[in-house]
Structure 1
Amino acid sequence: MNNRIEKGDIVVINKSGKYHQQVGEASEVDYNIFFVKIVLVKLGNQEEAFEEKNLKLKTKKPTLQEIIVSIDKIIEQVDRIHHLPTKEKVELPNRLKYLKLDILKLDKQLIQKNFDSIDKILAETRETDSSASFWQEIDPNLDKISWWIRTSL
């Protein structure tokens, strides 16, 4: 695993003091005038700058390949959603396939538009039956895709 901290990674603050052991997301990476890597970490509603040596990598941002796998896993689960209206039963798998193509092209506007539509369809569907077992597969993959979109575009 690459232990270098990059934008979008989840980190733990190792520096003693006010933020010791807090978990945050790297929102920006830069270097100071002494070529020391400085990471801007989002901690709730605020951001703080830390030297990379004061941070410990907790979770790497998902890779492009992991996102494609996550989309495929959601596509597999869509067939298990029996109460999807006919229109959405056709639209949801198509939008997921388009999202996969858009991600490979890194087309920011289309990625966001398709993801928002997918998220909306799934949110409406969840209201009908939130206890079904397929949500255990869909939700973490949807979160992973959302994380990648938020930190990559």
Structure 2
Amino acid sequence: MSDRIEKGDIVLINKSGKYHKQVGEVSEIDYNLFFVKIVIVKLGNQEANFEEKDLQLQTKKPSLQEIIVSVDKILEQVAQIPHLPTQEKVELPNRLKYLKLDIPKLDKQLIQKNFDSIDKILAATREVDSSASFWQEIDPNLEKISWWIRTSL
């Protein structure tokens, strides 16, 4: 794991003061007049600027390879969903496969469109059966993909 802090990473603020020990997501990287790396961290509904030395990396944003693995994991679980209507039984795996092919192309509109469709189908499916064990595998992977889309494109 690289210790370089990048956009999308989750960081802990070590600097004493108002934000001490808070955790946030890096929304931007900038440099000041003296070429010191300034990290803009989103903390709830506000943002604050910190020098990189004042932050501790908590979690790296997912890599391209991790996202493709997450899509594969969801694809495996989709086969186990018993109450999926016929149309969704075809559409959901196809959309997941298209998403997997689109991710390396980094085409934001295409990726977002497929992800939104996948999310919508899964949300409707969850209303029918939200307690099934396959959600324990689907949910964290869906969240990881969403995080990657939000911070990478």
Task: Report the count of equivalent residues.
Answer: 153
Q: Which runs of 5+ in 1 are unaligned?
A: none
1:138 has 2:138 as partner: yes
The one-letter amino acid paired with 2:134 is F
TM-superposition CA deviations, 1:53-85 (whole Å, max 9, x none):
000000000000000000000000001000000
Task: Name the counterpart of 1:149.
Answer: 149
- Please name the residue that 1:47 is paired with: 47
Which residue of 2 is the match for residue 30 of structure 1?
A: 30
Structure 1 residue runs of 4+, over 2 Å off? none
Instruction: Provide, for residues 28-67 of structure 1, a one-character-per-residue CA deviation record: whole Å limited to 9, x for no partner.
Output: 0011111111000000000000000000000000000000
Give me the whole-angstrom Cα distance separating, in 2, the residues matched to 1:27 and 1:16: 21
Give the CA deviation at 1:104: 1.2
1:95 aligns with 2:92: no
What is the 5 A alignment of 1:1-153? 1-153=1-153
What do residues 116-152 of structure 1 show as CA deviations (whole Å, max 9, x unaligned)? 0000000000010000000000000000000000001
Secondary structure (helix, strand or coil) at the match of 1:77 reads helix
Unaligned runs of 5+ in 2: none
For residues 120 and 151 of structure 2, the distance between their equivalents in structure 1, rounded to whole angstroms, comes to 20
Q: Distance in 2 between matches of 1:107 and 1:98?
A: 12
Work out the CA distance in 1 between the residues paired with 2:79 and 2:115: 19
TM-score, normalised with respect to structure 1: 0.99
- 2-structure distance, mates of 1:151, 1:3: 18
Code of the aligned partner of 2:62? P
Alpha-carbon distance in structure 2 between the residues aligned to 1:74 and 1:95: 11
Distance in 2 of aligned mates of 1:39 and 1:45 = 16
TM-score (norm: length of structure 2): 0.99
